[in-house]
Amino acid sequence: MKITKVKGIYDILGKEAEIFSLIEETFFRLTKHFGYKRVFLPILEKEELFVRSVGDSTDIVEKEMYTFLDKGKRKVALRPEGTAGAVRAYIENQVFLSESYTKWSYFGEMFRYENPQAGRRRQFYQAGCEYFNAPSPLADGEVIYLAYRILKELNVNAKLYINSIGCDKCRGPYKTLLIDYLKSKEDKLCSDCQKRLKRNPLRVLDCKNPVCKDIIDEAPNILDHLCECCKLHFEQLKEILDILKVPYKIDPFLVRGLDYYTKTVFEFKVDSLGAQNTVLAGGRYDKLIKELGGPDIPALGFAMGVDRVALCMKEAIKDTRHGVILLPLDEKLLPYAVKAFKLLSESTSILEQIKEDIDTKKFNLVLKLMKDEKLRDFLVAVRDRIELPNKISKIRKMFSLADKKNFAYALIIGEEEASKNLITVKNLDTGNQFQLSLNMFEG
C-alpha cells in the first residue's frame, strides 16, 4: 500500500521550492544588512512555554497546537510560532549578559492544527526577526522598514497597518471600558465573541464575523486611551515612518491574536489571498521576557508567512535558460570533460570570493574575459550553474536533454577539442558557436 502525506502537510517541490529559496535568500540578505544574526531554534518546546507566552485563551493555544506526551511523559508541543522559543533561548542562554542588544533572524517550520485551505497549512514556514533590548521607537521604525524592504524586494504588493495597544498602565482602564461597552451588546455578538468577552475581550476587536463588525466599529478606540508614554512612542513611530517614506494606515482595531504584545502592533496585508491576506505581522512585546522569567527587557519582532508570500510570487520564477552543460561526444573524452568542468567551475568561484583571498592571476583572467560581452555572458552562466551530463549518450539525445533542462550553453567536447585543449561553446538560444582555449583557465 502506498503511504501518503499527513493531512494539511505538504511537500515543497519544483517551482514552489525555488520561490521558497528566493524568499529565504532575500530575507537573510536584508536582515544581515540590518545587523541580524541567524539562529537555529528547536521545533519542539515544552507546551507550557506557549501557554504562558502566546496565552491560554488564544485560538493558537486553545485549539491549534500540536501537543503530545513524549516517552518521558513530558508535555511537549510543535512550535506554533517563533517568538516564544526565541525569547526562551535568549533567557536560558543569558544572552543579555554579554550583549547590550541582540538581533536574531530565523527561518523554519511552524505547526498549527487548523482546517487546511489556500494559504493555511498545518505545517507552514515563517521567516522571523527578534530585536531584544530595543526600547526606542527608532527600533519600531527600523523593524517595520526592514519588513517593508523585504516585501518590496520580493515584489509583494502589501499594505501596512499599524496600531498601538498600549502598556500595562493604559490597557487596564481601556479593557474595563471595552468590557462595559461589549456587555451592553453581548446578546448581539457572535458565539465566539461571547466567549472572548469573558476570557480575552481585546480579541473581540479581531473578529471577522460580519455580525460583530458594526458593534466593533462603535467600540471605544484604544488610541484615545493611551497613556502619555505610549502616546509619545506611537507619535514618534509615525514620524519615523514618514521620514522613511513607508506608507501606512492606522487601524485602531488591529490587536493581533496573541497575548504578549504591548504598544506597537503591525500587519502587512495583500488584496489577494482572501481571508488569509496577512503576509507579515509583528509588534512589540516589552513584558514577555520578564514574564518568562528573564530580566525586564523590552523587545519587538515580526514573522513573515513564507507560504503566503510564495502564493503572491507565482510569477517570480521564469523558465529562462541558464547555466552550462558539458557534452563529451564519447566515453573516451570523459577525462578531458571532467578537467574542463573543474577548471571552469573554479575560475568563476573567484567571483564569489571577491572580498576574501583573491588569487590575482585568476582575478585578472576573469577581468579580461569580462571585457568581452560574449565571454562575460558565458562566464556568468558558468557561475550560475555548470553540470556534467547524467550519462553519455548520442549527441542528439544529449542536446535535447540540455534543451529540456533549460541550459543556456552546451560545451561540446570532441576529439579535436581534446587534442587542442579547447572547448566549443554553443549558445542554445541563438545556435551561435565559438571556441575557447582551456589554457587561459589553467593560468
Q: How many residues bind Zn ion (CB under 5 A)?
A: 11
Measured from the CB atom, the residue of 70 and 228 that comes closer to Zn ion is 228
What one-letter code names the amino acid at 89? A
Stretch that binds Zn ion, among 202-210, 236-244, 297-305, 331-339 (CB under 5 A): 202-210
CB 239, min distance to Zn ion, A: 18
CB 167, min distance to Zn ion, A: 3
Max intra-chain CA distance, the chain: 92
Measured from the CB atom, the residue of 193 and 303 that comes closer to Zn ion is 193
CB 185, min distance to Zn ion, A: 11
Q: Helix or strand or coil: residue 385?
A: coil
**Interaction of residue 227 with Zn ion, rule CB under 5 A:** yes
Closest CA to 135 of 314, 270, 313, 262: 262
Among 39, 212, 219, 311, indicate the residue that binds Zn ion (CB under 5 A): 212
CB 235, min distance to Zn ion, A: 13
Measured from the CB atom, the residue of 263 and 383 that comes closer to Zn ion is 263
Stretch that binds Zn ion, among 141-149, 192-200, 330-338, 376-384 (CB under 5 A): 192-200
Distance in angstroms (rounded) separating the CA atoms of residues 349 and 153: 26
Among 89, 139, 143, 230, indicate the residue that binds Zn ion (CB under 5 A): 230
CB 298, min distance to Zn ion, A: 13
Grid cell 503591525 is found at: 266
Burial 270-296 (b: 16+ CB within 10 A, else e): beebeebbbbbbbbbbbbbbeebebee
Element (H, E) at 83: helix 83-92
Residues 6+ apart with CB under 8 A from 269: 158, 159, 161, 277, 278, 279
Environment class of 341 (CB within 10 Å of its CB; exposed 0-12, middle 13-18, buried 19+): buried
Residues 6+ apart with CB under 8 A from 401: 389
CB 214, min distance to Zn ion, A: 11
Among 158, 207, 281, 413, indicate the residue that binds Zn ion (CB under 5 A): 207
Stretch that binds Zn ion, among 58-66, 207-215, 350-358, 432-440 (CB under 5 A): 207-215
Element (H, E) at 368: helix 360-371
Tell me how crowded residue 235 is: count the other CB atoms within 10 A of its CB.
13
CB 290, min distance to Zn ion, A: 16
What one-letter code names the amino acid at 84? A
395 to 424: interface string for Zn ion, x by CB under 5 A: ------------------------------
Measured from the CB atom, the residue of 103 and 203 that comes closer to Zn ion is 203
Measured from the CB atom, the residue of 252 and 389 that comes closer to Zn ion is 252
234 in Cβ contact with 223 (< 8 Å): yes
Distance in angstroms (rounded) separating the CA atoms of residues 323 and 83: 40
Stretch that binds Zn ion, among 146-154, 176-184, 209-217, 407-415 (CB under 5 A): 209-217
Measured from the CB atom, the residue of 91 and 297 that comes closer to Zn ion is 297
Stretch that binds Zn ion, among 29-37, 158-166, 317-325, 354-362 (CB under 5 A): 158-166
CB 286, min distance to Zn ion, A: 10
> What does DSSP assign to residue 220?
P
Stretch that binds Zn ion, among 58-66, 87-95, 117-125, 193-201 (CB under 5 A): 193-201
Within residues 162-191, the interface with Zn ion by CB under 5 A covers 166-167, 169-170, 190
Measured from the CB atom, the residue of 216 and 380 that comes closer to Zn ion is 216
The DSSP secondary structure of 278-323, one letter per residue, reads EEEEEEE-TTHHHHTTS----EEEEEEEHHHHHHHTTTSS------
Closest CA to 96 of 288, 289, 285, 282: 289
Q: Where are the beta strands (DSSP E) in 63-193?
A: 66-69, 75-78, 102-111, 123-132, 159-164
Measured from the CB atom, the residue of 160 and 165 that comes closer to Zn ion is 165
Element (H, E) at 267: strand 262-269
Stretch that binds Zn ion, among 16-24, 75-83, 224-232, 329-337 (CB under 5 A): 224-232
CB 321, min distance to Zn ion, A: 53
CB 289, min distance to Zn ion, A: 18
Stretch that binds Zn ion, among 48-56, 230-238, 241-249, 423-431 (CB under 5 A): 230-238
Measured from the CB atom, the residue of 185 and 385 that comes closer to Zn ion is 185
Strand-by-strand arrangement of the 66-69 sheet: 44-46, 75-78, 66-69
CB 4, min distance to Zn ion, A: 36
Q: Which positions lie near Zn ion, rule CB under 5 A?
A: 166-167, 169-170, 190, 193, 207, 209, 212, 227, 230
